[in-house]
Structure 1
Amino acid sequence: MTDDATRRTSRISGFHKLRVEQRIDHVAAFADLGDEHRRQLAAPSNMDTHLADHMIENMITTIAIPVGIATNMRVDGRDVLVPMATEESSVVAAVGNSARQCYESGGFTTSMSGTEMIAQIQLLGVPDPARARLLILERRAEIERICNACDPTLVGLGGGFRDLDVRRIDTPAGSMVITHIVVDTRDAMGANTVNSMAERLAPNIAAWTGGRTLLRILSNLADRRVVRARATWTCAAIGGAEVRDAMVAAYHFADNDPYRAATHNKGIMNGVSAVVLATGNDTRAVESGAHAFAARSGRYRSLTSWEVTADGDLAGAIELPLAVGLVGGAVKIHPTARALLAVLQVGTASELARIIAAVGLAQNFGAMKALATEGIQRGHMSLHARNLAFAVGAVGDEVAEIARRIVEGRSINEAAAAAALAELREQG
């Protein structure tokens, strides 16, 4: 190890106070970055540097993710073009192809349980948890006043406190009393709102019960905000009864085996998370809620269900919590997210959530059909082959040709792409 390396330290006093270009200088020096990498970090994007610097701490650069448009989507009788932000090839294509195959059958029909979020307040140290629970429930009207006073604007828009639930849970650390406040956050995802209400309410709960409140935070298991989407694919449109039955068998595999369900649901989230990201919403909140919802029975299962209709067609449905919004957070300040929301032409958070659920169902259809017929690799790797061609330096028309050669040779890897490029240029 060199003397310079031993002197490097991540303890940089006042790093957050530096200008962005100064932070880049520090990082470049620490990591011995060459000019190419340093220029890339400093390169402009479609997001203003000043805005990015105020969105997160210690910002040095932005990273661009391609945004594609899923076509053929008809949701609740309305045609929509859906923006999807993802780095994974075949995801956008799968949604468009799946939607095309059910377009003439009416597309996707959706519904939503509501726009309510839950915040939890943890109560410890009460000698009589059963009595403490009742004491809290008796204060429902007062709790409603305290919560609604936190956000008069939300109340004016028709939102605010909706319900109260108090549970006792027994843990290795002793009995705990958990208060749930249920709040209609309307067109906001609502994390900041419900967290503020929980913070305001916690001292009152402690005073009423003689206990000690600890955590005061929303739950990302947004089971008061469940979205459902369904669609029917005719047997003829998907390639016949053999394909239909294979897809149903694939679904039953996922619904009864957590190893398969994890990958099955990951494919669904390929579509869901891509739209969530494109619209400036919180991908981590949505993903954690979806996976928790998939395990709500005590066993991790499929987020979708598939069956054969009385007419012999294939019917699919999806059900998952989707805490997304049109106001607040990055949704409000990220210019690209605002532009992509304008593409979607949605007027409410509920409408956005229903479109996202339809995309998740379409993504699942595409993945299951590929797996049940040609296998996932053929279509996915054909698109991945183009990425490999780029990675080894192919340009212009070379990209498509290199991709074609390595797919035909069934060696879809970087070494094969490099060899194909060298051969092509020798021939040229």
Structure 2
Amino acid sequence: MARTSRLSGLRNHTIEERRAIVADALGAPDALAQLVDGGLDEARADRMIEHVVGQIGIPLGVATNFLVNGREVLVPMATEEPSVVAAASNVARMARERGGFTTSSTAPIMQAQIHVVEVADAHGAKLRILEQRDELMRLADEQDPRLVELGGGVRDLIVRIVERGGRRHLVAHLLVDVRDAMGANAVNTMAEAIAPRVAELAGGRPLLRILTNKADLRLSRARVTVPAEMLGGAEVVENMILGAQLAEDDPYRAATHNKGIMNGITAVVLATGNDTRAVEAGAHSHAARDGHYGSLSHFERDAAGDLVATLELPLAVGLVGGATKSHPAAQAAVAMTEVTTAQELAELICAVGLSQNVAAVRALAAEGIQQGHMALHARNVAVAAGAEGDEIEAVAARLVEQRAVRADVAERELAAIRGKA
């Protein structure tokens, strides 16, 4: 376990110094070696996807202060958006006063769908398939004996009749415990294997045979209590709760509220080489699970007046397979977290998403989102205007002071600074 995640003042050090500080906290001198240049050479990139012509770099930062289930954790976050890493770290610092984050999760169950068409008697077909449930489950398990050896494998088979707009679909679902894998390849292979037999039993033709990213049986949960005084007092807490309630009731607000959650979640998912699109699809489908798109998180006040924030969402991430194993930088990022199971990684990611969410809602309820966000964004604008070295901070400071973080203002202020040189 990391000696501590309280690395105060990390932002004031050079990149090289930060690497040394983080490595020392982990007790592993070479822990971040693969992150120096992104850890991916052209030959490896060419093996990962098709038609490779280059690479694109995304900044990778370290979120500090996280205490999750009593464990000190340093969290890798890959994102291009300013303020995300700092905001998550800041709320994690506040949360330490009440013990940090508490997390839990369900078993890593993924589902594959076998879609059968041209079925005459859907209800009869459903029962015929279920009558052979054990046979079909055995056939599916035979496709991945290694997974079964590790304690995973098929847990159930269900059949759904989906009716909408005068159309009827027969869909069988394989429920598979995929252990420490994200699980797409495992469940897809199983679905392919049993599809002919399922269709034979149904008296139809197999069509789609693929996992669903609506991973609502693979849930992660996080809970945190933040002292009211650290957030700015009782009025700020009240405003945060009112703002969160709007996100529960209004899809327009919910879309941005949930995007803030995903700012934290996607950054860790990307850093660890996991599938950002699958996680995002699962999260947003979960937000609309009741037929109304709303907030993924909930904000309340406890008996002491402190903020209690909770988050539950599907998180299909893995430690084996895919880029998590083939990308050296992703391997280094996973190692930084010191997690030992995919469930533990998912729970950590959920905690980061909640921390980011609390930070964003607090900013909205207090000083406004732009003050902190634009202060960090000002540096990007200064660089885009051509500022170099010490000019960057000087131009950024002028933009923030004028409350005008714009390209034209940056160009004007840069010219003024150079004119005095």
Establish whether TM, by shorter chain, passes 0.5: yes
Structure 1 residue corresponding to 2:169, chosen from 157, 166, 176? 176
Q: Is residue 69 of structure 2 the alignment partner of residue 76 of structure 1?
A: yes
Deviation at 1:123, TM superposition (A): 1.0
* One-letter amino acid of the counterpart of residue 143, structure 2: C
Question: 1:29-108, aligned counterparts within 5 Å?
Answer: 46-108=39-101
Q: Is residue 384 of structure 2 the alignment partner of residue 391 of structure 1?
A: yes
In the aligned structure 2, how far is the partner of 1:175 from the partner of 1:232?
Answer: 47
Match of 1:424 in 2: 417
* One-letter amino acid of the counterpart of residue 362, structure 1: S
SS of structure 1 residue aligned to 2:142:
helix
Match of 1:333 in 2: 326
Structure 2 residue corresponding to 1:412, chosen from 385, 390, 405? 405
> Which has the higher Rg, Structure 1 or Structure 2?
1
* One-letter amino acid of the counterpart of residue 287, structure 2: A
In the aligned structure 2, how far is the partner of 1:235 from the partner of 1:379?
Answer: 20
Match of 2:9 in 1: none
* One-letter amino acid of the counterpart of residue 209, structure 1: A
Match of 1:148 in 2: 141
SS of structure 1 residue aligned to 2:98:
coil
Structure 2 residue corresponding to 1:317, chosen from 310, 315, 337? 310
* One-letter amino acid of the counterpart of residue 402, structure 2: G
In the aligned structure 1, how far is the partner of 2:165 from the partner of 2:296?
Answer: 31
Deviations 1:327-377 (A, max 9, x none): 001111000000111111110000000000000000000000000011100
8 Å Cα contact 1:122/1:214 also seen in 2: yes
Question: 1:180-195, aligned counterparts within 5 Å?
Answer: 180-195=173-188
8 Å Cα contact 2:118/2:205 also seen in 1: yes
Match of 1:238 in 2: 231
In the aligned structure 2, how far is the partner of 1:163 from the partner of 1:369?
Answer: 43
Match of 1:303 in 2: 296
* One-letter amino acid of the counterpart of residue 134, structure 2: A
SS of structure 1 residue aligned to 2:73:
strand
Structure 2 residue corresponding to 1:225, chosen from 212, 215, 218? 218
Q: Percent identity?
A: 56
In the aligned structure 1, how far is the partner of 2:359 from the partner of 2:38?
Answer: 33
Which sections of structure 1, spanning at least 5 residues, go unmatched? Answer: 1-43
Deviation at 1:174, TM superposition (A): 3.1
Match of 1:371 in 2: 364
8 Å Cα contact 1:169/1:177 also seen in 2: yes
Deviation at 1:172, TM superposition (A): 4.2
SS of structure 1 residue aligned to 2:319:
coil
Structure 2 residue corresponding to 1:274, chosen from 267, 276, 299? 267
* One-letter amino acid of the counterpart of residue 91, structure 1: V
Match of 1:126 in 2: 119
* One-letter amino acid of the counterpart of residue 205, structure 2: R
8 Å Cα contact 2:120/2:203 also seen in 1: no
Match of 2:258 in 1: 265
In the aligned structure 2, how far is the partner of 1:152 from the partner of 1:206?
Answer: 24
SS of structure 1 residue aligned to 2:99:
coil
TM-score (norm 2): 0.90
Deviation at 1:173, TM superposition (A): 6.8
Range that drifts further, 325-334 or 230-239: 230-239
In the aligned structure 2, how far is the partner of 1:306 from the partner of 1:172?
Answer: 37
Deviation at 1:183, TM superposition (A): 0.2
8 Å Cα contact 2:269/2:349 also seen in 1: yes
8 Å Cα contact 2:97/2:227 also seen in 1: no
8 Å Cα contact 1:45/1:62 also seen in 2: no
Structure 1 residue corresponding to 2:109, chosen from 106, 116, 120? 116
TM-score (norm 1): 0.89
Q: CA RMSD in A?
A: 0.9
In the aligned structure 2, how far is the partner of 1:52 from the partner of 1:235?
Answer: 48
Q: Is residue 294 of structure 2 the alignment partner of residue 294 of structure 1?
A: no
Aligned length: 385
Deviation at 1:171, TM superposition (A): 3.6
In the aligned structure 1, how far is the partner of 2:350 from the partner of 2:52?
Answer: 33
